[in-house]
Structure 1
Amino acid sequence: MAEGPVPPDENDRLRELHKLEALDAPLDRDFQNVAELAASICRTPVALVNLVGGELQHLRGRVGVAGDVVVGRRTGLCPHVVSGRELLEVRDALADPRFRDDPLVAGEPYLRFYAGAPVIGGHGHVLGTVCVMDHRPRLLAEEQKRALRLLACHAAAMLELRHHARQGEKVARHLEEVADLKHQFLRNINHELRTPLTSIRSYLQLLQDGGLEEDTERDFLQVIERNSDRLLERLDELLLMASLSAHTAAFSPQRVDLAGLTRRAVEEAVAKSAGRDHDMRLRIATEAPVWADPDRLRYALVHLLDNAIKFTPAAGVINVTVTAVPPAVEIHDAGIGIGEEDVEHVFEDFYRSREAEEQAIGGTGVGLSIVSRIVELHGGSVELRSTLHEGTCVRVTLPEAPAAGPPEDHRDPQDRDGPR
């Protein structure tokens, strides 16, 4: 048996099949109708809608072929249609030296006649065939050949339509998810803003009513101050998110020691969490110079540390490690962790894990998205690994600062094109 040559566009052809998600789809009633119509028009006992993959041939519609038949890439006559790109008609395969040793010709089902038209995708690659076969030698009439070609065109159009329908369903699901996230965000932001505002109003009313002892008034004022700070933090967070999304956030990088910056961020986070009694362990090997905006990077680190504290039970251990090569900060907590299905979404805007929702842990769902954008602004990367009920590890890696001057990406724009 002479194997059909591999077409020159084989890689692109397989990519198109993969993009269309055509090979793994089950039998389809519409493709089955195409096969039945081909068998009826051509008056043959066997007809197929056959997509030719890299290793196997995939029957999307079939007549006269058992459901458990698996055909290899080099078996049969369809691969020759893929290579030739034109309708192939073989009157008697047993008399044709190219095909007489083919297992489907020399053995069961002892095929003799074959006619196949190429199914050509939207990018011009032959994806498979609509073909008919018989157990006796014969030829098709011209009208039958024309019908076979038209059915092949119809099969190609259906592949495209199925693909676009699946893409549409994905877009629809994504829009539903976005709507759900928006509603969740509105609920969260309503809680995050209304709760401190309600507290402020209540304590202000008590102060206005008078008759309180001086120590009590001082305590009330401290509560009002804390809630005011909470409100300002939330508003600053939302404004920063908007500016990062619009690429208008101020960014003033300079040579910074990541080790020293991390130490200050740890001190700030510990001060904010006074009373929770966490065991914050900081390990810094040496100075780790990076080219960074210290305020932006400090914000990202403090937020990650706040998260570690917020999701770790009181007296829990939080390990913070700074490395110099490559410059990186790793924050490993022993908190509630994040479910596997949530990990891939945690850096998305407004996303909150179900653990945070179920345990009513405060937040608007934009913190990790802000962290991701800040790290990206620096040309770095952030990775998160988590195991439910065991803890979470977040690693921020940044480009190393050069010995002198800013990195190429952070030179003044007027200097990037050289002398003028």
Structure 2
Amino acid sequence: MTSLPWPSDEAERIRELQESHALDAALEADYRAIADVAAYVCRAPIGVVNLMDAGYQHFKGRHGIDLTGIGRGQMSFCSHAIRGRDVLEVHDALADERFRHDPAVQGEPYMRFYAGAPIVTSGGHALGAVFVADHRPRRLLPEQRGILPTLADGVAHLAELHRHSRRAQLVEHRLKELEELKNQFLRTVNHELRTPLTSIRSYLQLIQDGGLDETTEQQFLAVIDRNSARLGELLDRLLLVASLNARTVPFTLASADLADLARQAAAALAERARAGGLTVTVHAPVPVPVRADAARMRHAIEQLLDNAVKFTPPGGRIDVIAHVEPAPAVEVCDTGIGIGPAEIDHVRDDFYRGAHAEDRAIGGSGLGLSIAEKIARMHGGGMRIDSLTGRGTRVRLTLPGPAPCP
């Protein structure tokens, strides 16, 4: 057998085969029907819809043959067929120098005759071939030869329709997710806005009604002030996530120490942590130099700490760890309630609140992890989350190292 021929568009052809999902099992019944028709019309014992990847020929539709596939080098007929756009007809393989030593000719399935039409998509790439084969030399009649390209076109159309169907399903699924996120956003914002507003209005009404002593009035004013700050913080978060999504947030890189930013963030959340009965420990013994917008990075770390404080029961522990190697990073590890496997891929989405947050009525806008990751990515870094339900969570922000001195 001569060396295996490769189409000039092999890389693009393989990519389109993968992107079309033409190998999906859902299409096999249709492929089998096409193989049956090809064998019947051509009066051939073997009919196959053959889809070819880089190293294997997948017999996704087959008639008269038990093989589900064969190695690319074990049968070279279709490799020749997909290089052209016409039907390849080999009347007697033993008399053809290209195929006389082919393993499929010398051994199972002992092919002497082959006729195959390439399966060409609208993108111009051949995904494989529809072929018929026989154990004896022969020729096709003109009408038999003419049916093979029609059947091959049918396979290409089926694959493309399947691809569009899959895309439509993915779009529909994504739209449902977005609808749920929108509803979650409305529920969250409604709750987060309504609760402090209701408190402010109630205390203002009591103050306006009069009759309060000065100490009580000052206490009520303090509650109003706290709730006003809570509203301001929520609005700031909403504006920040909108700016991060639009990539319009102000951003200035300069030399910074990630270890120092971790200590500052921990200090800012220390009072809340103590009030919640939590122990916060910072492990940052050496500087961690980075190029960063210090204010943004400190804000990102604060978001992680805020999340840890919310979801760690009293008596728990939070560790903040700054790393130099293998890349500049800061980790926030807690002994909290953790994140379930079904939610781990969603907790970084805007406004996503896990089932534990809803069940336990834990406040929040569902933006903390989203904001932290967006800030890390803005710096060219990333965020990784490791968690087990009931065993705590570790969130790691990683940044590129500082540029070397010239």
The TM-score, its normalising length taken from structure 2, stands at 0.90
In structure 1, the residue matched to 2:223 is 223
Residues 378/95 of structure 1: CA separation in 2 closer, same or farther (3 Å cut)? closer
Counterpart AA for 1:10: E
In structure 2, the residue matched to 1:80 is 80
1:56-87 alpha-carbon deviations (Å, 9 max, x no partner): 22123222233x64422223332332345542
Q: Give the CA deviation at 1:101.
A: 4.9
Q: Aligned equivalents of 2:379 and 2:108: distance in 1?
A: 65
Q: Give the CA deviation at 1:311.
A: 0.9
Does residue 352 (structure 1) correspond to residue 353 (structure 2)? The answer is yes
In structure 1, the residue matched to 2:399 is 398
Q: Aligned equivalents of 1:46 and 1:378: distance in 2?
A: 59
- Partner SS, residue 25 of structure 2: coil
* Alignment root-mean-square deviation, CA: 2.5
Residues 144/352 of structure 1: CA separation in 2 closer, same or farther (3 Å cut)? same
In structure 2, the residue matched to 1:6 is 6
Does residue 90 (structure 1) correspond to residue 90 (structure 2)? The answer is yes
Alignment of 1:194-273 (within 5 A): 194-273=194-273
Q: Aligned equivalents of 1:253 and 1:109: distance in 2?
A: 67
Counterpart AA for 2:378: L
1:117-164 alpha-carbon deviations (Å, 9 max, x no partner): 111233333211111123333211223222212221222222122112
Q: Aligned equivalents of 2:366 and 2:3: distance in 1?
A: 58
Q: Aligned equivalents of 1:165 and 1:27: distance in 2?
A: 12
Residues 101/327 of structure 1: CA separation in 2 closer, same or farther (3 Å cut)? closer
The worse-fitting range, judged by mean Cα deviation, of 333-342 and 207-216 is 207-216
1:237-290 alpha-carbon deviations (Å, 9 max, x no partner): 101112222222222443333333222211111124451121101111123333
Note if contact 2:21-2:162 (Cα within 8 Å) is conserved in structure 1: no
Q: Give the CA deviation at 1:230.
A: 1.1
Q: Give the CA deviation at 1:17.
A: 1.2
1:309-334 alpha-carbon deviations (Å, 9 max, x no partner): 11111121111112345432211111
Q: Give the CA deviation at 1:189.
A: 0.9
- Partner SS, residue 363 of structure 2: coil
Q: Aligned equivalents of 1:403 and 1:130: distance in 2?
A: 58
The worse-fitting range, judged by mean Cα deviation, of 159-168 and 282-291 is 282-291
Question: How many pairs does the alignment contain?
Answer: 404
Counterpart AA for 1:113: F
Note if contact 1:88-1:116 (Cα within 8 Å) is conserved in structure 2: yes
The worse-fitting range, judged by mean Cα deviation, of 386-395 and 117-126 is 117-126
Q: Give the CA deviation at 1:228.
A: 1.4
Q: Aligned equivalents of 2:373 and 2:107: distance in 1?
A: 61
Counterpart AA for 2:354: S
In structure 1, the residue matched to 2:328 is 327
Alignment of 1:175-186 (within 5 A): 175-186=175-186
1:189-243 alpha-carbon deviations (Å, 9 max, x no partner): 1111111111222222233333344443333222222221111110111011122
Alignment of 1:126-137 (within 5 A): 126-137=126-137
- Partner SS, residue 286 of structure 2: coil
Q: Any unmatched runs of 5+ in structure 2?
A: none
Counterpart AA for 1:266: A
Does residue 286 (structure 1) correspond to residue 286 (structure 2)? The answer is yes
The TM-score, its normalising length taken from structure 1, stands at 0.87
Alignment of 1:366-381 (within 5 A): 366-381=367-382
- Partner SS, residue 28 of structure 1: helix
- Partner SS, residue 232 of structure 2: helix
- Partner SS, residue 338 of structure 1: coil
Note if contact 1:26-1:60 (Cα within 8 Å) is conserved in structure 2: no
Counterpart AA for 1:294: A
In structure 1, the residue matched to 2:188 is 188
Note if contact 1:112-1:135 (Cα within 8 Å) is conserved in structure 2: yes
In structure 2, the residue matched to 1:305 is 305
What's the % identity of the aligned pairs?
A: 50
The worse-fitting range, judged by mean Cα deviation, of 43-52 and 178-187 is 43-52
Q: Any unmatched runs of 5+ in structure 1?
A: 408-420
Runs of 4+ in 1 over 6 A off after TM superposition: none
